[in-house]
């Protein structure tokens, strides 16, 4: 593929990026949520400059990295396309002192990640491993996550950029690049400056399974219940004590058991309690609600209000407070009006010799929020597996294929057909 070794480039990049701790932190009270995300931003800024990308800029306040590859089509009959990936890793498992290593030619058997700690990834538990027999896997030592979510995407985008900068004979329109913080904790690229970014249509890269893509996400809200109790000595508590922990438990019991993440899949929505803590005088329950259908989603919000009303009727309305914050909407609302973007993505995957799979994404992406800000963004999977945990891994061949898919997208937007479609 041109005059660079794509396999070695994506491998080296992911291993190098994975060693940089960029874990984000929910409820830190400030954005970006962790300063250490800037460490990777600084690396990416220098690397973009070194490989020949133009207009490289690091927002020192919001830690967003920008770059641009100018069009090499003189008549201007090509449209700008953008690519976005996030730099942070999930708070679900440690991102400190990541020790990536490569298992070549995987044989389909259990993988010993850490002999000293006896940490083994069992093939029977992680059945997706069978899809990668004969391939080369980047793994951890089993004590941290890897960070392929989303650093595998960054490695692919950076390698695509280097390829284009080193192969001037490849015709392409202008390409906008951006790397953002805090996706894992709801940042949703809120500080991406669309004017500086410069593209009117873009693709995010974030997700597992090579060849999967999404043009639909959940509608999403976060709800917080706060319960105020009354504490008194347990010996004289009869008819006086109101235990806020008991109220919290009562509320959680109201949530339909069949409508929780562990009991749903496909297009089924859910209620999910993220945390519950407190004492006799005060407790807080934080949960998220998700659904693909807008009307059903609004009914879920209404159900929570009914729960609050019922609890208030029993204990006093001043003892329950419900706050609902909208997080993101189903990007299908926007992407249905630009169907060519999904068609291009699916065709790009096919041309790379990969079977495209489109399923509603049971989560959210930066692209969901960006779409509603005027930048439509279908999502291409990064190709990692077992994200957010100690058994995460990335097949190197998947990253190589993603570079090819990205180049196919770039080629499509160089077609004059899009002159009047994607301005």
Catalytic residue status for 183: yes
Instruction: Please choose, from the candidates 334, 420, 346, the residue with its C-alpha nearest in 3D space to the C-alpha of residue 377.
Output: 334
Q: Which of 21, 59, 88, 162 is the catalytic position?
A: 88
Q: How far is the CA of 99 from the CAs of 50, 112, 156, 267, 338, in angstroms?
A: 26, 14, 20, 37, 42
Residue with tokens 């004969």: 134
Strand pairing class (81-86; 212-214): unpaired
Catalytic residue status for 107: no
Strand pairing class (175-180; 65-69): antiparallel
Instruction: Please choose, from the candidates 23, 144, 53, the residue with its C-alpha nearest in 3D space to the C-alpha of residue 392.
Output: 144
Task: Give 324's contacts (C-beta < 8 A, 6+ positions apart).
Answer: 221, 222, 223, 301, 304, 305
Q: Do 326 and 382 touch, CB atoms closer than 8 A? A: no
Q: Do 67 and 58 touch, CB atoms closer than 8 A? A: no
How far is residue 84's CA from residue 414's CA, in Å, rounded to a whole number?
A: 19
Torsion of CA 394, 395, 397, 402, to 10 degrees: -30
Q: Which of 183, 206, 208, 385 is the catalytic position?
A: 183
Output Rg (C-alpha) for the chain, integer angstroms: 23
Task: Give 305's contacts (C-beta < 8 A, 6+ positions apart).
Answer: 322, 324
How far is residue 110's CA from residue 119's CA, in Å, rounded to a whole number?
A: 10
Report the catalytic residues: 88, 183
């Amino acid at each position: 593929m041109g005059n660079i070794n794509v396999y070695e480039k994506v491998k080296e990049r992911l291993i190098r990026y994975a060693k940089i701790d960029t874990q984000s932190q929910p409820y830190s009270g400030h954005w970006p949520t962790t300063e250490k995300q800037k460490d990777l931003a600084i690396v990416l800024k220098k690397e973009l400059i070194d490989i020949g990308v133009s207009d490289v800029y690091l927002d020192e306040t919001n830690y967003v990295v920008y770059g641009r590859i100018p069009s090499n089509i003189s008549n201007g009959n090509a449209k700008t396309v953008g690519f976005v990936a996030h730099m942070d890793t999930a708070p679900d498992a440690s991102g400190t002192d990541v020790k990536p290593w490569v298992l070549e030619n995987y044989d389909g058997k259990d993988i010993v990640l850490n002999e000293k700690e006896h940490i083994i990834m069992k093939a029977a538990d992680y059945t997706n491993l069978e899809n990668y027999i004969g391939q080369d896997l980047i793994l951890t030592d089993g004590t941290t996550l890897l960070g392929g979510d989303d650093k595998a995407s960054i490695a692919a985008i950076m390698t695509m950029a280097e390829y284009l900068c080193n192969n001037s004979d490849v015709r392409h329109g202008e390409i906008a690049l951006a790397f953002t913080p805090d996706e894992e904790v709801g940042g949703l690229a809120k500080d991406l400056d669309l004017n500086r970014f410069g593209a009117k249509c873009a693709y995010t890269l974030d997700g597992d399974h090579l060849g999967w893509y999404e043009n639909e996400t959940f509608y999403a809200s976060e709800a917080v219940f706060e319960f105020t109790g009354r504490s008194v000595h347990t010996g004289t508590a009869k008819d006086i004590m109101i235990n806020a922990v008991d109220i919290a438990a009562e509320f959680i019991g109201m949530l339909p058991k069949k409508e929780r993440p562990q009991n749903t899949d496909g297009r089924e929505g859910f209620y999910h309690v993220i945390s519950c803590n407190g004492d006799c005088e005060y407790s807080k329950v934080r949960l998220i609600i998700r659904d693909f259908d807008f009307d059903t989603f609004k009914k879920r919000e209404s159900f929570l209000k009914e729960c609050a009303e019922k609890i208030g009727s029993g204990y006093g309305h001043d003892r329950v407070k419900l706050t609902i914050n909208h997080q993101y909407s189903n990007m299908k609302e926007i992407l249905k009006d630009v169907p060519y973007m999904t068609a291009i993505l699916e065709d790009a995957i096919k041309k790379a010799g990969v079977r495209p799979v489109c399923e509603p994404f049971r989560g959210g992406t930066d692209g969901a929020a960006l779409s509603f800000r005027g930048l439509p963004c279908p999502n291409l999977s990064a190709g990692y597996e077992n994200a957010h945990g100690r058994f995460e891994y990335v097949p190197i061949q998947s990253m190589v294929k993603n570079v090819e898919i990205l180049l196919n997208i770039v080629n499509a937007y160089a077609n004059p057909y899009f002159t009047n479609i994607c301005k």
